[in-house]
Amino acid sequence: MVRFISIRVLTYVILVFLATSFAYLLAASLMHPEEVLYPPIATKPVPEGTAQAYLNARNINPDVPVFQRYANWLGGLVRGDLGVTTGTNKELSPVLEVLKQRIPISLRLVVLGTVIGTVLGVAVGMLTAVRRHSLGDRGATLLSFVIVSLPTPVVILVVQQINQAIQNRTGFGLPAINPVNPLLHGWDAFLYESKAIVMPTIVLAIFAAASYSRYMKVTTLDVLGSDYLRTARAKGLTRGRAMNRHGLRMALIPMGQYFAFAVGSAFTGSLFVELMFNWQGVGRYAVSAVGIADINGTAGVVLYTGILTLLSATFADFLQGILDPRIR
Amino acid sequence: MSDPILTVTDLSVGFETEAGHVQAVQNLSYQVRPGEALAIVGESGSGKSVSSLAVMGLLPGSAQITGDIELMGKKIFTMNDRELSQLRGDTISMVFQDPLSALTPVFTVGDQISEVVRIHHPDVSKQKAADRAIELLEAVGIPEPRRRAQQYPHEFSGGMRQRVMIAMAIANEPELIIADEPTTALDVTIQAQVMELLKSAQEMLGAATILITHDMGVVAGFADRVLVMKDAQMVETGDVEQIFYEPREQYTRNLLSAVPRIDQGAEGGSVAGAAMRKVAEVATSEDSRPREERPVVLAVEDLHRIYPITKGAVVRRKVGEQRAVDGISFDIREGECMALVGESGCGKTTTLMEIMQLRTPQQGEIRIDGRPTGSLSRKERAKLRSEVTLVFQDPMASLDPRMPIGDILKEPMRVQGYSAKKMNERVDWLLKTVELKPEHASRYPTEFSGGQRQRVGVARALACDPKLIILDEPTSALDVTVQAGVLALLADLKTRLGVSYLFVSHDLSVVRHISDRISVMRKGQIVESGPTERVFDDPQHEYTKELLAAVPIPDPKVARTRSRNVIDAAAFRGHAAGGTAESSGSVRA
């Protein structure tokens, strides 16, 4: 088990490194943050010396070969330095600091959304499989197809509108935007933050649950037709108990691998969620970093999502190792 | 006579499928008395399994059931799932067909056995139940039961897993055990062990048993009474002697006469095997030229195929080797059928794959018509593909469902560049040769039965006038009556067309009827080889003797002389002294 997990983790670390390297090289060769020094952005000419200093300070000098810049960036990475933001807004703040500020805001959203979404999806998928062709199954199947095929912003707007309608009618409602209220302190601040996270989490969880219930339904249907479940019932377990004791665990085994990618898709969902709920998280930063040609920032975000996926994949492997004795 | 513990009255089971209403069981009535062994026999689709699942109350909700099943005074169909669950595993238990998939892979064997104890006796402590599981494992003959109980099903072989299933079935001393094809997926020596175990477990418990099977040989040694089913209905029922020696119905007679048997049914008076004797007659009435004068079609000399066992993810290192084929030699003459017999994993399939590849083997030599396969050019090898052909085991999977039969038969000829006119003529001839109609050429494989599809498979193998046909378990997926027909066809083709066969099979009794020579394979080696008669009448090697002794004989009198007691009753009773007294003295009548 330890051997199995450590080999897997090693592979994931290599993969994350490769992904981040590719992201850096792509960003470095396609983005042009130096445009800020030339017209039409710059209104008056920048002296050559100043320009060189500006570019070198950010490791984005186009006169330096891209692989040398990559090597510089790698050197920083080894020391735990992700470089500074290189965007056309001329801001010069360490990427690590920016991420440190934004990760706590994003992470709670992504983790909560994924966990609630998968648990919900597994429960719905299993119930719809066991009660196949029932009204509930048909309803859940239709609903999940509708949700999967809707674009994220539409679902966000629907959730926001429902909240607004409730607020109009009853006077109580959740905060429409912003994850924190800087005017509040202590218990009130915590209360506000807990309320603010509800809607964004609902959006992420709905998407995760919709796709997970589909997968789970398929694996559960496989299990329902299996010989060992029939054996379990022949031993004297009722339908429900046989499913809980023998079926659920078997149905969860293939789900482990889907979970590895759940966090990745939750992050993608968080791009829209953070924009439309005005959260200053990593998702929003990723969108703006690409927009303002922030090479180091983009690479930093890819590193963050890579590590996030690494962790969830490792967790999935661990889960699978516990569930399935055959791979231990 | 005591009251029956199971009474099935006028049972009918139907299913609504996409293809319309399917009647799986129709108006079936029978009774089982305490301690009696009833065998329900029938070919695939006869409804024998569905009727037994009905007794367990395990039919899917979509089944339409009429009639009545009464188990020890309780009507099964009036009970809900909870009430039925109290009976299942306690009063009535079941052993299923495929031991490889019947155990939950993620729980230890010990846990799965102790579970069945604890379901019905919740007051038994976890530790007691675990000890009971070990006793049960010991009783069914699992060595080192304490260690084995901690293992998972995938660490057990098929036969061991079926023993575990039996241990679970007898754990609560049921009144009725239903065994649904318990040995179909097992090798013949393992089959013999499992059947002996089941018989002795039944005798020890005094439980009634329903054995569901298609194998008449297994029935003869096990059952007191036999019920023959066909097309969802009962054909005949009676004592085992009456069924085997004086069957009343024509279908029973056909079924029995199609059973291949190793003893050729020389004495004993059982009807079994009558039709197969004719196959043997056809197969042996060939030209009288002695074997030595006929040309050698295939010669295999000192063939090896060794697979390395590697370890390590990044740096692979060899830790051992699997000698799949370990230095075997044989030859096949023109018009001769040589059978390669052995149990699963003995290297039969590897051998024939090596021959079919037509390449240089790892070690040794394969010669076809005197030419070593290693020396062939690409063109010669392509040509030779038409002369050495293969008939596969599963006729359902080996024909492309999207191609009409005619195209399937033309494909090998097209590869060899036959003209369109010649191909059409040959398709007609081939279909007639395998006793199908030429107008069948435009039909698709799904429109044919299993036996007809296997005939198409044989026709395809014959398409380009082959010298040698390799038959890979050609009848093991077929029902016995169909098997008899296909074997008769093969025997006839051999004498008429003079082709040679390499007949690969696990079934000694099938091979007896068709082959001229037999090679018995074990662990990659041929342990015994010789003319069929000699090997059967006077086996030299221990393993051959063991194999022959394990083959069930479809004759109740002969079969009874061979049964032995194999269950460890002392280990089974181990618990009676302490603890769960109520389980041993429960509802025993």
- DSSP string for A60-107: --TTS-HHHHHHHHHHHHHTT---B---TT----BHHHHHHHHHHHHH
SS3 B311: strand
Identify the band that residue A98 occupies on the pLDDT scale cut at 50, 70 and 90.
very high
**Cβ-defined contact of A326 to B154 (cutoff 8 Å):** yes
- A5 interfacial to chain B (CB closer than 8 Å): no
Is residue A98 in a domain?
A: no
Statement: residue B564 has pLDDT above 60: yes
**Domain check: are A127 and A235 in the same one?**
yes
Statement: residue B570 has pLDDT above 50: yes
Residue B391: which residues within 8 A CB-CB, separation 6 or more? Answer: B454, B457, B458, B460, B461, B469, B470, B471, B472, B474
**Domain check: are B193 and B214 in the same one?**
yes
**Cβ-defined contact of A234 to B88 (cutoff 8 Å):** yes
Identify the band that residue B283 occupies on the pLDDT scale cut at 50, 70 and 90.
low
Q: What is the mean pLDDT of residues B209-231?
A: 90
**What single letter denotes the amino acid at residue A151?**
P
Is residue A286 in a domain?
A: no
**Cβ-defined contact of A250 to B106 (cutoff 8 Å):** yes
Is residue B389 in a domain?
A: no
**Cβ-defined contact of A231 to B165 (cutoff 8 Å):** yes
For residues B365 and B296, give the distance between their C-alpha atoms in angstroms, rounded to a whole number.
14
User: What is the average pLDDT score of chain B?
Assistant: 86
Statement: residue A211 has pLDDT above 70: yes
Identify the band that residue B272 occupies on the pLDDT scale cut at 50, 70 and 90.
low
| Residue of B87, B89, B104 lying closest to A228 (CB–CB) | B104
CB B360 within 8 A of CB B374: yes
Statement: residue B576 has pLDDT above 60: no
Summarised one tens digit per residue, pLDDT across range B24-77 is: 899 999 999 998 999 999 888 788 888 888 999 888 878 889 999 999 888 988
Query: Terminal CA-to-CA distance of chain A, rounded, Å?
Result: 5
- The pLDDT of residue B238: 92
Summarised one tens digit per residue, pLDDT across range B242-252 is: 998 888 999 99
Identify the band that residue B581 occupies on the pLDDT scale cut at 50, 70 and 90.
very low
**Which is it for strands B317-333 and B296-311: parallel, antiparallel or unpaired?**
antiparallel
**Domain check: are A232 and A301 in the same one?**
no
Any idea what the CATH number is for the domain that residue A185 is in? 1.10.3720.10
**Domain check: are B21 and B70 in the same one?**
yes
Chain A residue at shortest CA distance from B172: A235
**Domain check: are A237 and A110 in the same one?**
yes
Statement: residue B583 has pLDDT above 60: no
Q: How far is CA A233 from CA A5, A236, A285, A289, in A?
A: 35, 5, 54, 57
Task: Report the half-sphere exposure of B242 (CA within 13 A, side-chain side).
Answer: 11
Summarised one tens digit per residue, pLDDT across range A141-169 is: 999 999 989 999 999 999 999 999 999 99
Domain that includes residue B53, residue range: 6-273+565-584
**Domain check: are A178 and A299 in the same one?**
no
**Domain check: are B128 and B208 in the same one?**
yes
Q: How far off is chain A from B161, nearest CA to CA, in Å? A: 12
For helices A295-323 and A95-130, the axis angle rounded to 10 degrees is: 40
Query: If contacts are CB pairs under 8 Å, which of residues 184-203 in chain A contact chain B?
Result: none
- A230 interfacial to chain B (CB closer than 8 Å): yes
Chain A residue at shortest CA distance from B98: A227
Sign (positive/negative) of CA torsion A74, A75, A78, A84? negative
Is residue A96 in a domain?
A: no
Sign (positive/negative) of CA torsion B237, B242, B245, B246? negative
Q: How far off is chain B from A250, nearest CA to CA, in Å? A: 7
For residues B150 and B71, give the distance between their C-alpha atoms in angstroms, rounded to a whole number.
35
Closest CA to A261 of A118, A125, A121: A118
- The pLDDT of residue B582: 39
**Domain check: are B114 and B141 in the same one?**
yes
Q: What is the mean pLDDT of residues B383-390?
A: 88
Instruction: Give me the number of domains chain A comprises.
Output: 2
Peptide bond into A40 cis (omega under 30): yes
- A228 interfacial to chain B (CB closer than 8 Å): yes
For residues B349 and B308, give the distance between their C-alpha atoms in angstroms, rounded to a whole number.
18
Q: pTM, whole model, 2 decimals?
A: 0.81
**Domain check: are B10 and B155 in the same one?**
yes
Closest CA to A207 of A283, A257, A266, A167: A266
| H/E run at residue B581 | helix B581-584
- A249 interfacial to chain B (CB closer than 8 Å): yes
Question: What are the backbone angles phi and psi of residue B400, rounded to the nearest 5°?
Answer: -65, 115
CB A129 within 8 A of CB A221: yes
Is residue A95 in a domain?
A: no
| H/E run at residue B221 | helix B216-222
**Domain check: are B301 and B191 in the same one?**
no
Q: Is B513 exposed, middle or buried (0-12, 13-18, 19+ CB in 10 A)?
A: buried
**Domain check: are A135 and A214 in the same one?**
yes
Q: What is the mean pLDDT of residues B352-375?
A: 86
Looking at beta carbons, which residues of chain B come within 8 Å of A238?
Answer: 81-82, 85
**Domain check: are A243 and A160 in the same one?**
yes
Domain that includes residue A84, residue range: 1-89+292-328
**Domain check: are B441 and B512 in the same one?**
no
Any idea what the CATH number is for the domain that residue B228 is in? 3.40.50.300
Identify the band that residue B264 occupies on the pLDDT scale cut at 50, 70 and 90.
low
**Domain check: are B446 and B302 in the same one?**
no
Chain B residue at shortest CA distance from A250: B106
Is residue B317 in a domain?
A: no
Look up residue B37 and give its two tokens: 């062994």
**Domain check: are A121 and A227 in the same one?**
yes
Range in A16-20, B346-350, B387-391 the model is least confident about: B346-350
Statement: residue A193 has pLDDT above 70: yes
Look up residue A225 and give its two tokens: 């037709």
- The pLDDT of residue B284: 62
Question: What are the backbone angles phi and psi of residue A121, rounded to the nearest 5°?
Answer: -60, -45
**Domain check: are B169 and B207 in the same one?**
yes
- The pLDDT of residue A201: 93
SS3 B4: coil
Summarised one tens digit per residue, pLDDT across range A46-80 is: 888 888 999 988 998 888 999 999 999 999 999 98
For helices B126-139 and B109-120, the axis angle rounded to 10 degrees is: 120
Range in A243-257, B210-224, B275-289, B563-577 the model is least confident about: B275-289
Q: How far is CA B214 from CA B181, B258, B272, in A?
A: 8, 12, 14
Looking at beta carbons, which residues of chain B come within 8 Å of A245?
Answer: 115
Is residue A227 in a domain?
A: yes
Is residue B169 in a domain?
A: yes
For residues B504 and B445, give the distance between their C-alpha atoms in angstroms, rounded to a whole number.
24
For residues B466 and B385, give the distance between their C-alpha atoms in angstroms, rounded to a whole number.
9
CB A311 within 8 A of CB A110: no
**Domain check: are A240 and A298 in the same one?**
no
- A226 interfacial to chain B (CB closer than 8 Å): yes
Task: Report the half-sphere exposure of A83 (CA within 13 A, side-chain side).
Answer: 27
**Cβ-defined contact of B102 to A228 (cutoff 8 Å):** yes
- A246 interfacial to chain B (CB closer than 8 Å): yes
Looking at beta carbons, which residues of chain A come within 8 Å of B116?
Answer: 235-236
Is residue A94 in a domain?
A: no
CA torsion, ordered B494, B498, B500, B504, to nearest 10 deg: 0
For residues B464 and A33, give the distance between their C-alpha atoms in angstroms, rounded to a whole number.
72
- A326 interfacial to chain B (CB closer than 8 Å): yes
**Domain check: are A115 and A241 in the same one?**
yes
For residues A20 and A310, give the distance between their C-alpha atoms in angstroms, rounded to a whole number.
12
Sign (positive/negative) of CA torsion B64, B67, B72, B75? positive
Share of chain A above pLDDT 90, in %: 51
pLDDT greater at residue B543 or residue B284: B543
Look up residue A17 and give its two tokens: 């490194």
For residues B121 and B131, give the distance between their C-alpha atoms in angstroms, rounded to a whole number.
14
Is residue B407 in a domain?
A: yes
Statement: residue B279 has pLDDT above 80: no
**Domain check: are B489 and B438 in the same one?**
no
CB pairs under 8 A between A and B: 73
Q: What is the mean pLDDT of residues A73-92?
A: 88
CB B304 within 8 A of CB B298: no
The ipTM (two decimal places) reads 0.80
**Domain check: are B337 and B402 in the same one?**
no
**Domain check: are A123 and A272 in the same one?**
yes
Mutate to test the interface with A, among B88, B104, B175 (most CBs of A within 10 A): B104
Is residue B118 in a domain?
A: yes
Summarised one tens digit per residue, pLDDT across range B144-199 is: 999 999 999 988 888 899 999 999 999 999 999 999 988 887 888 888 888 889 89
> What angle is formed at CA A221 by the lines to CA A220 and CA A225, rounded to 5 degrees?
115
Range in A28-32, A209-213, B396-400 the model is least confident about: B396-400
Identify the band that residue B104 occupies on the pLDDT scale cut at 50, 70 and 90.
very high
User: 10 Å Cβ neighbour count for B584?
Assistant: 15
**Domain check: are A299 and A268 in the same one?**
no
Looking at beta carbons, which residues of chain A come within 8 Å of B88?
Answer: 233-236
**Domain check: are B445 and B332 in the same one?**
no
**Domain check: are A149 and A83 in the same one?**
no
Closest CA to B481 of B231, B274, B257: B257
**Cβ-defined contact of B85 to A236 (cutoff 8 Å):** yes
For residues A83 and A76, give the distance between their C-alpha atoms in angstroms, rounded to a whole number.
7
Instruction: Give me the number of domains chain B comprises.
Output: 3
- Strand partners for B210: B38, B178
User: 10 Å Cβ neighbour count for B58?
Assistant: 16
Place of tokens 């009918």: B12
CB B360 within 8 A of CB B320: no
> What angle is formed at CA B430 by the lines to CA B429 and CA B434, rounded to 5 degrees?
115
User: What is the average pLDDT score of chain A?
Assistant: 89
